Structure 1
Amino acid sequence: MDAYRAEGWADFAVAVAGAGAALAGLLFVALSINLERILAGRRLPARAAHTLVLLATPLVVALVLLVPGQSERALGIELVAVGATTGLLLAALNHPGRRAPQQPLTWWLIAEALPAVALSGTTIVAGAGLLTTSLSGLYWLVAGIVVAFVGALLNAWVLLVEILR
């Protein structure tokens, strides 16, 4: 598989798109089960939106990877734009001042800050890698997407189970 050619990444993109869509659907089910409690919490609606972005961004990245016939330059620009937009959105939803007082800082860093930085940062680096044919290109997407999915699953667990404790 070539780090700088999108054609070799089609199977990966299909898997990510399917996983992202399925997990986002399950998140909506979890949110609907505890909707009143989530809406009653000061921080929980932003956490739910943050989790949805962690699942939707890999889906968007996968769909962009699957566009046939586009140049690597165009894909690089698209990935940088998606990564930058994701970073700004997640920063707005998840800045440290919005952390719940009862949430330990370590947990906030692991479940919210790390996935946000990893996803947006690796998407930008992958796009820049395509534009410059350096930085290991698309291989950065794997790490960012895995960390985003793990972070989203941790947050979904909190929104589904921990909220009831």
Structure 2
Amino acid sequence: MTEAWNDFFVATAGAAAALAGLIIVAMSVNIAKIIEIPAMPARAAATISSLVLIVVVAAAGLIPGQADVLYGVEVLLLTALALGFAVDAAVRILRHQDAGRGPRALKAAVPVLQVVPFAIGGVLLLLGSSVGLGWLAAGFILVFVGSVVGAWVLLVEILR
């Protein structure tokens, strides 16, 4: 089922790895400020973990001859790890008043919501449905958008 998606997986894995590198550089430039803001380290960790989720889910999708059910299991296990970081970030954002500009509820929801399509996709793959791959693609896109926003926050907004 995943063979037709090889080019998509290769492209998104590379893009996600590059963006994860950018986030890590942004963190190193502003690490003192990031640590000062209680929710920001968890928010950065959620951003990086969601990008790593893309890289590893895409890489796993490229394993030749892998059973679709096994791929679904891998997606769900990897999603659970990323979801742990996302939920931690959401809780910390909601607990702290100084989480930055904008509505805290929205900032708390984004890291969690962008991982949800991976869970849906993993379940559908477990059930043998190729529609699960479409859900993974949606998750990839949501993570890219959310991560670009995260990079902007870590590079620019954090200094305002």
TM-score, length of structure 2 as denominator length: 0.88
Is 1:127–2:122 an aligned residue pair?
yes
Is 1:89–2:116 an aligned residue pair?
no
Is 1:80–2:84 an aligned residue pair?
no
Q: Distance in 1 between matches of 2:114 and 2:38?
A: 26
Matched residue SS, 1:137: helix
Is 1:154–2:130 an aligned residue pair?
no
For each residue in 1:43-87, what CA deviation from the matched residue of structure 2 results, as whole angstroms up to 9, or x when unmatched? 221121121112111111111111111111110111111122222
Task: Please identify, of 37-46 and 21-30, the stretch whose mean Cα deviation from structure 2 is larger.
Answer: 37-46
Q: Distance in 2 between matches of 1:107 and 1:65?
A: 35
The residue identity in structure 2 corresponding to 1:82 is L
Q: Distance in 2 between matches of 1:136 and 1:114?
A: 23
Partner of 1:142: 137
Among the aligned pairs, what percent are the same residue?
40
Runs of 4+ off more than 6 Å: none
Q: Distance in 2 between matches of 1:60 and 1:99?
A: 31
Q: 1:62 aligns with which of 47, 58, 65?
A: 58
Aligned length: 159
Q: 1:15 aligns with which of 8, 11, 29?
A: 11
Stretches of structure 2 lacking an aligned partner (at least 5 in a row): none
RMSD: 2.0
Q: 1:113 aligns with which of 109, 115, 131?
A: 109
For the 8 Å contact 2:47–2:111, the answer to whether it is kept is no
